[in-house]
Structure 1
Amino acid sequence: MYIDSPLTNTNFILSGDRFLKAWNEELQFETPIYHANSVSAYTEAEQLSRDSDNEQSSGSTGSLGGSAPVEIDFTAWITDAVVFKEWQIARDSEFDLIEFRENNLSFSHIFRDAGNTYVRFAAANADGTCTYYSTTYDISIGESDIKCPNAFSPGTEDGVNDIWKVSYKSIISFECHIFNRWGQKMCSFNNPADGWDGKYKGKVVPSGVYYYVIKAKGADGRSYNLKGDINIINYERSGSPGTPGS
């Protein structure tokens, strides 16, 4: 009788029939502990979500990657005989050139470069006679993009289109400054998920034309130097148009 090599330290109990009793033999025999030599593992990858309503989606549902930066938690569970273990990250699916290694069973990694990156878990026993490689995780980061709206209506009661935000994808560095027509800065922010609520010093500014200046960099290496106008509409208040609220 042959059985697969156990993945954990194991002992066996062999049971006989009535003939053993007739021969004055024990009906059960327990073997010494067999120390496992074969290795295996179970792995998981979980992508952390971001709560951003203006980030463009990319990639299919259930796949890893999308709009950079992408943070993913990796976890592995191993069997008793595993001595050597590591996570491996490479830009080629054959892992000819491994760019990053991690010896902990669990770790988190942020992917910032556009294109495909591959991750797998490797394990081996003490003498290297038995090895294991997990399924390869394919993380696909999309090309960058920024789109800027040219109008919004701050201070509205329905909450529709009342914040000026860019639409973006795979942006890894970002800064935005907004000015009135006289060059006075209304606000600044460095997270593309943020925006301008149309306020200056806590008060909604008058209707008119304002201007944005954006400097950003994408995961694909693309640089953005954007300038344009923002029209504030559907808002009435006292004061001279274009001047900041008092």
Structure 2
Amino acid sequence: MRKLLSFILLILPLTAMAQSAMPIMEYVDSTGATVTDETSYDGAPISVNFYANPQDVGNYKAYYEWDIYCTYTNKDGTTLANDTIKRFQENTTYNFEQSGSYVIQLFITFYNEGDTIEYVQEEPFSVFISQSQLEFPNAFTPNDEEPNNIFKARNQQSIIEFEAAVFTRSGRKIYEWKDPEGGWDGKDGSKDAPDGVYYLHVKAKGADRREYKINQAITLLRKYREDTGITSE
């Protein structure tokens, strides 16, 4: 009986010290919140951090391999190409800039004086990057009343290249921006631009390789009240 107990006590620590990992995927979503999850649905570009988080390494040396299986899609949702990207750091960051589906899996080889232990992540991470969208309204009311106080994209997602400019009817550029989340506050320099019609020129590219060239008129109605629909004098 004593021999049996000694054998059990000898085996238990070895079992508890089995080399393994608890991988973590972490990213900041479109609302600005930090998310740790196994699956991400979001628009591009998005930067995602992957942490191997090895467990009970002990005297073993760990060799890491992250495999990123990519299925890229076109603007119509059809498959454009498949690819596999490999990273060999313990922790890595990947910037997702093309629409499609991605599977991320961690492999670790633990080695110690001829003893090798292989770890394979049983539940890989998944990332889904949406098709691109980009639309603008045709009017806005910069009168300090939300939500129409800034002229900006009404629907935008997975836009990876962007530049926009606003011109007067005579062709003078009065504002430009290069962030798809940005917009025009109705200013001409430091002064309020007068009510009237202006022209928007946008050149952009989506994560699905769709190219946008938008040229449209904008009506600025500074005296318009959103709640009543009445233009004040």
Matched, 1:101 2:86: yes
**TM score, norm. by length of structure 1:** 0.71
**What residue number does 2:218 align with?**
230
Q: Percent identity?
A: 28
Query: 1:46 and 1:76, CA in 2 relative to 1: closer, same or farther beyond 3 A?
Result: same
Aligned equivalent of 1:201, options 165, 168, 189: 189
What is the root-mean-square deviation in Å for CA atoms of aligned residues? 3.1
User: Per-residue CA shift, 1:140-196, capped at 9, x if unaligned?
Assistant: 000001011000011x13333110001201000000011010001010111100000
Matched, 1:14 2:2: no
Listed as ranges, the gaps of 5+ residues in structure 1 are 2-12, 17-28, 53-60, 237-246
Matches within 5 A, 1:40-79: 40-51=20-31, 63-78=39-54, 79=56
Aligned equivalent of 1:39, options 16, 19, 38: 19
Contact 1:89 1:101 in 2 (8 A): yes
Normalized per residue, the structure richer in strand is 2
Aligned equivalent of 2:63, options 84, 87, 96: 84
Q: Provide the C-alpha distance between the structure 1 equivalents of 2:147 and 2:83, rounded to a whole number of angstroms.
A: 48
Matches within 5 A, 1:153-164: 153-154=141-142, 156-164=143-151
Contact 2:99 2:129 in 1 (8 A): yes
How far off is 1:98 after superposition?
6.2
Q: Give the secondary structure class of the aligned counterpart of 1:130.
A: strand
Q: Provide the C-alpha distance between the structure 1 equivalents of 2:68 and 2:94, rounded to a whole number of angstroms.
A: 10
Contact 2:132 2:156 in 1 (8 A): yes
Code of the residue aligned with 2:84 in structure 1: it is E
How far off is 1:118 after superposition?
1.3
Matched, 1:131 2:123: no
Q: Provide the C-alpha distance between the structure 2 equivalents of 1:62 and 1:162, rounded to a whole number of angstroms.
A: 38
- Size of the aligned set, in residue pairs, is 199
Normalized per residue, the structure richer in helix is 2
Query: 1:128 and 1:161, CA in 2 relative to 1: closer, same or farther beyond 3 A?
Result: farther
Query: 1:15 and 1:83, CA in 2 relative to 1: closer, same or farther beyond 3 A?
Result: closer
Code of the residue aligned with 1:139 in structure 2: it is V
User: Per-residue CA shift, 1:127-151, capped at 9, x if unaligned?
Assistant: 5853221121111000001011000
User: Per-residue CA shift, 1:81-131, capped at 9, x if unaligned?
Assistant: 453222121226xxxx86322222222211011110111110123358532
Q: Provide the C-alpha distance between the structure 1 equivalents of 2:7 and 2:118, rounded to a whole number of angstroms.
A: 33
How far off is 1:66 after superposition?
1.1
Query: 1:218 and 1:98, CA in 2 relative to 1: closer, same or farther beyond 3 A?
Result: closer
Matches within 5 A, 1:178-217: 178-217=166-205
**What residue number does 1:116 align with?**
101
Listed as ranges, the gaps of 5+ residues in structure 2 are 72-81, 225-233
Query: 1:184 and 1:100, CA in 2 relative to 1: closer, same or farther beyond 3 A?
Result: same
Structure of larger gyration radius: 1
How far off is 1:14 after superposition?
2.5
Q: Provide the C-alpha distance between the structure 2 equivalents of 1:195 and 1:132, rounded to a whole number of angstroms.
A: 48
